[in-house]
Structure 1
Amino acid sequence: MAPYTFPDDLLQAQRDWYAAYRELAGDQSSSQTTVLRRRLQRLSVRITTHPYWASAPGSVPAARVALKEAAWSEEVDC
């Protein structure tokens, strides 16, 4: 896999997406369901429309996978 250097704000947005997803999955009361779904939508838009993708080296789909893996590995290491 090609090495990627992701901007901090893009990497943070992916981390925030994972955190919101985990919170939504664990919300048994469903009191925050709408709020969390909207947050996931906003973060998804922020991630997919980030200017980085216009100049990403190599394959953009591969870079998106690498972003997810980088953010996930940081979450797991915490």
Structure 2
Amino acid sequence: MRPPFRFPEDLVTLQRAWQQTYAELAQAPAGTGTTVLRRRLITLSGNLCTHPHWAAPAAWRAGGVELRHAARTHTSTPAEGQAAA
């Protein structure tokens, strides 16, 4: 069995913001101004992909699903060297 992934709290917060923005965009009625939501989603996507946690070569592929799950369940474990909040 694989050990659980540990994500920094700021990374989980970024993912939660991305998911919330995506949900808001999906709920927006057709023809309404969605530019602000689309721009926020693009910015959050860039911040997620360039987060220092993903510095390892295959880290995104290895932990992306687990990060989305952690953000949905609003749980995360502190990364090594970080104290629990």
Q: Same fold (TM over 0.5)?
A: yes
Give TM-score, length-normalised by structure 2: 0.74
The size of the alignment, in residue pairs, is 71
State the identity %.
45
Matched with 2:48 is 47
Residue aligning to 1:18: 19
Structure whose CA Rg is larger: 2
Q: Give the Å deviation of 1:64.
A: 1.2
- Give the Cα separation in 1 of the matches to 2:3 and 2:39: 33
Q: Quick check: which one's helix share is greater?
A: 1
- Give the Å deviation of 1:55: 4.5
Residue 32 of structure 2 corresponds to which residue in structure 1? 30
CA distance in 2 between partners of 1:2 and 1:42 (Å): 31
The alpha carbon displacement at 1:54 in A equals 1.2
TM-score (ref. length: structure 1): 0.80
Extract unaligned runs of 5+ from structure 1: none
User: Where does structure 1 differ by over 3 angstroms across 4 or more consecutive aligned residues?
Assistant: none
Structure-2 separation of matches of 1:8 and 1:19: 16
Unaligned runs of 5+ in 2: 75-85
- How far, CA to CA, are the matches of 1:55 and 1:3 in structure 2? 17
